Amino acid sequence: MTPDLAGKAVIVTGGASGIGRAASLLIASNGARVVVADIDVTGGEATAAAIFRQGGEAVFVPCDVTVASQVDRLVDAAVQTYGRLDCAFNNAGLEGDHASTVDCTEANWDRTLDINLKSVWLCMRAEIRQFLRQRSGGSIVNTASVAGLVAERGHAAYAAAKGGVIQLTRTAAAEYAAAGIRINAVCPGAIRTPMVDREVKAMRLSAMMPGAFHTPATRFWADAIVRLPFLRSISLKMMQPLGRNGRPEEVAEAAAWLCSDASSFVTGHALVVDGGMTAI
Ligand code: NAD
């Protein structure tokens, strides 16, 4: 699938790493001019440089997507650089601490909701305002997760945030459809990125099944067993019927298609890219 994005100006948040970097490269190789945004300056500049090396056009804009003024400046920078905005992939996110619902701290809750949910609202607000100013329509893709569709034990705040992203996507899609603005979400399963590496290392069975382990000793052994390298490597893969973790490029393909006119009659949709995880 090679959706045509020729000449379009596209913002990608979280473009320094993982899915965002793969999407920036793919969207640029399909002809778009990409505004790579991230809090990680070194990684963001490296993505923009990689796009230049493959013959594409890109600019890196440092941005903390949880700060409204920085998000507004990001959209302004896209318009100043490329004259307009056509699409956005609101993808920056963070898994948060691995803790049961009861043990989740208020600080972890606030930070996880800010980075995964409030940021998407701030980005959509600025992007939709620009689309309305242009009277051009536009396409937005938000990164949710399978954790927004089914339970993710040990990640209550993350699951709540990603469920919120899906509902925000549907609501905004319905509100702005008449203005020619399409808004969709991608819901990745376990994708091989730095985030999933961190998640697997932090995994604790006692946080996933807090009712099953009642003493410090049983909690200790449950957490030690799940950290065995062999179990760690197969546990996520076993959850996905295709029998492997996804590649960031496979999510990027879905995001590029949803950004492009090839998906012109698709809006308010949450597209799973999960190797079949949510089918079982
Ligand atoms: P990643 O850690 O490789 O990339 C995330 C990027 O977001 C990083 O470059 C990071 O610097 C950036 N970021 C974090 N906080 C930011 C902030 N406040 N402002 C700007 N940028 C910020 O992780 P990834 O796996 O590529 O994750 C991308 C998205 O995919 C996230 O929304 C994540 O929740 C989602 N997701 C990932 C998986 C998976 O298995 N990897 C599964 C489901 C959903």
pLDDT recorded at residue 223: 86
pLDDT recorded at residue 163: 98
| Tens-digit pLDDT profile for residues 144-170 | 999 999 999 999 999 999 999 999 999
pLDDT recorded at residue 178: 98
pLDDT recorded at residue 96: 96
Predicted model pTM = 0.97
- Helix-, strand-, coil-residue percentages of the chain, each rounded to 5: 55, 15, 30
Q: Can 158 be counted among the known catalytic residues? A: yes
pLDDT recorded at residue 55: 98
Please work out whether the CB of residue 169 comes within 6 Å of at least one atom of ligand 1. Answer: no
| Tens-digit pLDDT profile for residues 7-44 | 999 999 999 999 999 999 999 999 999 999 999 999 99
pLDDT recorded at residue 68: 99
pLDDT recorded at residue 200: 82
Question: What's the rounded Cα separation, in Å, for the pair 134 and 78?
Answer: 13
- Tokens linked to 45: 């500049």
- Whether the Cβ atoms of residue 251 and residue 25 lie closer than 8 Å to each other: no
The closest residue, in CA terms, to atom 31 on ligand 1 is 93
- Whether the Cβ atoms of residue 97 and residue 105 lie closer than 8 Å to each other: yes
Please work out whether the CB of residue 50 comes within 6 Å of at least one atom of ligand 1. Answer: no
Please work out whether the CB of residue 145 comes within 6 Å of at least one atom of ligand 1. Answer: yes
The closest residue, in CA terms, to atom 24 on ligand 1 is 18
Low-confidence ranges of the chain (pLDDT < 50): none
